[in-house]
Chain A
Amino acid sequence: MKLELESVVKTYGSQHALDSLDLAIENTLCLALIGPSGGGKSTTLRLLAGLESPTSGTIRIDGNEIAHEDRQLREYRQKVGVVFQAYNLFPHYDAITNISLPLEKVHGYSREKALEKAEALLEQFQLTDHRFKKPAELSGGQNQRVAIARAIAPDPDIVFLDEPTSALDPEMTAEVLEAIETLIESKKKLVIATHQMGFAKHAADTVAIIAEGKLVEVGNSALVIDSPRTARGQKFLKAYLKF
């Protein structure tokens, strides 16, 4: 995957979430965005996923600029998958419907085909026993795995994960990270905003540190995390090592 962000600015009212962010990477299968909370990683991810449009600047993915116009933006969103921190599953549908509904309504699958695909994904993530349960009846880890299954079901070009484990305890975090690892093994292109440094280091091939709405540094994941070059990067990662 190739990403190019050029002087991307995103403001919410008077607040600058992204303050002229530049980022260029290529030949990356899994990109991890790390950095302090409120620093701009989630905003970057939302812009990349086409959920919001930048205030100014351009974003190109694999050479194609992300559109601003509603219709084209929706077409773009149909080709990518998004996983949210709070799962954002539909509470009134059971697990299997959460996965099959978008396939049926957005991607033109027949109901049988959609259910078949959903079944297969539930099995892949060891959720077959829970397929008829609603989100309220599932644990956080199970919900997040359903959400991942929902995101990858239509076979998207890229999957964006916005702090997928930040709401989970260590055990559930592990089960979700394992699920994400299987995506990496299957060569799915991923962009993940995360606070899991260990995971970012071994699972991602490129890491970008984003803080105060700007890119701090970017590079090979092990190099950036083990020996950051910038003072800001060192400060951020030192805080992780300390406790």
Chain B
Amino acid sequence: MSFVSLFLGSNDRSETESSPISQWASFGAAILFLSLVLYASFSALEYQWNWESALRYKKKFSDGWIATLWISALSLFFAFLIGSLATLCSRARFLPVRYLSMIYVELTRGTPLLVQIFFFFYVVADAAGIQNRYVVGIAIMAIFSGAYISEILRAGIEGVGKSQLLSAKAIGFTEYQTFRYVIAPQALRSSLPALAGQTANLIKDSSLLSVIAISEFTLNAQEVNAITYSSFESFFPLAIGYLILTLPIMRLSRSIENRLRFET
């Protein structure tokens, strides 16, 4: 194997496939390499580890982790509703509705989540008289993620071939039937990997809700930090807690992608 071929990947999976043992060995080598880098960095820092004080607050970690899980799950559900609605509106015949959807998607995708959180929390929620900050938090995440989901769904819908639409027309399907039986199933299928990725993003992005004092995973870790005067002892569990949620989702996304590639 030449030096260059180490980096020039192959798109053909069968070429890069090797025995499970050597795969695990390669994986182990990669992990070992990263661990060494990490270890070296911390040695240079001469960091004084103090796990005991941080671990005393493990209930705070687990409570925060569960709160993040709930906030993410509920946000995801509403994000889907909002995203689907925005996609439908972006295809509406009535132009104002179409522009409304377009403006929502562009503004949301084009501004930092942090700004949106402050804006919704201090302006919109206040004006609407919503007291419960968890409700506000979930609403913000749903609105934010909904814009991305809308874009993903829109791309999926536009990806359905013209020949499919022609075929539906020839059969005599109505517009609704064409959407229901031809466009939606194909668009949803092709959007699945991106949707799974967006779900992982939503979970990570929900950490920003800590700025409006929602005691989710990140805020709780920060509090442990403040109480124990530690820093990495609470940030490491934080990172791992998020990975436990996001890694399976990203793996799922990858496997859906592979299956779709096989099917078509």
Chain A positions near chain B (C-beta within 8 angstroms): 49, 51, 74-75, 77-78, 81-82, 84, 86, 88-92, 101-102, 105-106, 134, 136, 150
Contact = CB atoms under 8 A, between A and B. Distances in A.
A78 B164 contact: no
Given A91-B186, A91-B264, A92-B186, A106 B173 contact: yes
Contact of B167 (A75, A88, A92, A105): A88
A161 B173 CA distance: 19
B170 A90 contact: no
A51 B170 contact: yes
Contacts of A81: 170
B186 A106 contact: no
B35 interface: no
A106 B177 contact: yes
A128 B169 CA distance: 27
A74 B172 contact: yes
Contact of A106 (B166, B171, B185): B171
A51 B166 contact: yes
B166 A102 contact: no
Contacts of A82: 170
Interface residues of B, number: 18
A101 B169 CA distance: 14
Interface string B170-187: 111110010001100110
Contacts of A106: 171-173, 177
Given A92-B185, A134-B263, A77 B172 contact: yes
Given A105-B173, A106-B177, A86 B164 contact: no
A102 B174 CA distance: 11
Contacts of B166: 51, 84, 88
Given A88-B163, A90-B164, A106-B177, A77 B263 contact: no
Contacts of A88: 163-164, 166-167, 170
Contacts of B169: 51, 77
Nearest to B170: A82
B251 interface: no
B91 interface: no
Interface of B is mostly: helix
B175 to A, nearest CB: 9
Contacts of A101: 181
Nearest to B185: A92
A136 B173 contact: no
Contacts of B172: 74-75, 77-78, 102, 106
Contacts of A136: 263-264
Contacts of B163: 84, 86, 88
Contacts of B182: 90
B56 interface: no
Determine which residue in B167, B171, B182 has the highest number of CB atoms from chain A within 10 A of its CB, and name it.
Answer: B171
Given A92-B185, A106-B173, 18 more contacts: A51-B166, A51-B170, A74-B172, A77-B170, A77-B171, A77-B172, A78-B172, A88-B163, A88-B164, A88-B167, A90-B182, A90-B186, A92-B186, A101-B181, A102-B171, A102-B173, A105-B181, A150-B171
B159 to A, nearest CB: 12
B192 to A, nearest CB: 12
A122 B56 CA distance: 69
B189 interface: yes
Nearest to A91: B264
A218 to B, nearest CB: 25
A174 B154 CA distance: 41
Nearest to A70: B175
A102 B170 CA distance: 10
18 contacts: A77-B169, A81-B170, A86-B163, A88-B163, A88-B164, A88-B166, A88-B170, A89-B167, A90-B182, A91-B263, A92-B189, A102-B171, A102-B173, A105-B177, A106-B173, A136-B263, A136-B264, A150-B171
A195 to B, nearest CB: 20
